[in-house]
Structure 1
Amino acid sequence: MSFYQKITEIGKKYNILNKLFKPVFNFSPMYSRSTARLTKVSEDLHYIEVKIPISYKNRNYNGSIFGGSMFSAVDPVPMVQLVNLLDTSYVVWDKSAEIFFKKPAREDIYADFDFSPEEIQEIKTKVKELKEHTFVKQTQLVSKDRRTVFCVINKTIYVADKAFYKEKLRLRKEASDSHVIKS
Structure 2
Amino acid sequence: MPSFKQTFEIDMTPSPRLVKTLINLWPPFLGAGIRVSRIATDWREVDVSLRLGLTNRNYVGVHFGGSLYAMTDPFFMLMLMNCLGRDYYVWDRAGRIDYLKPGRGRVNARFRLDETQLAEIRHHTAGGEKYLPEMTVDVVDHAGEVVARVHKTLYVRRKKDRR
Pairwise same-fold verdict (TM > 0.5): yes
Using the alignment, how far apart are the partners of 2:103 and 2:111 within structure 1? 19
1:110 and 2:108 matched = yes
Show the counterpart of 1:5.
none
Q: Secondary structure at the match of 2:126?
A: helix
1:27 and 2:30 matched = no
Using the alignment, how far apart are the partners of 2:71 and 2:117 within structure 1? 23
1:9 and 2:6 matched = no
User: Which structure has the larger Rg over C-alpha atoms?
Assistant: 1
Using the alignment, how far apart are the partners of 1:75 and 1:137 within structure 2? 12
Q: CA deviation at 1:30?
A: 4.8
Report the AA paired with residue 90 of structure 1.
Y
Q: After superposition, where does 1:87-102 map in structure 2 within 5 Å?
A: 87-102=85-100
Report the AA paired with residue 158 of structure 1.
Y
RMSD: 1.8
Q: Which runs of 5+ in 2 are unaligned?
A: 1-10
TM-score (norm 1): 0.77
Greater helix proportion: 1
Instruction: Name whichever of 134-143 and 22-31 sits farther off.
Output: 22-31
Q: After superposition, where does 1:1-183 map in structure 2 within 5 Å?
A: 9-11=12-14, 17-129=15-127, 131-146=129-144, 148-163=145-160
Report the AA paired with residue 75 of structure 2.
V
CA displacement 1:130-172 (0-9 Å, x = unmatched):
62110111011002343x00001101111001228xxxxxxxx
Contact map agreement 2:97 2:149 (CA 8 A) in 1: yes
Report the AA paired with residue 78 of structure 2.
V
Using the alignment, how far apart are the partners of 2:28 and 2:131 within structure 1? 27
Question: How many matched pairs?
Answer: 151
Seen in structure 2, the aligned counterparts of structure 1 residues 20 and 153 have a Cα distance that, compared at 3 Å, is: same
TM-score (norm 2): 0.85
Q: CA deviation at 1:120?
A: 1.1
Seen in structure 2, the aligned counterparts of structure 1 residues 129 and 91 have a Cα distance that, compared at 3 Å, is: same
Using the alignment, how far apart are the partners of 2:30 and 2:12 within structure 1? 22
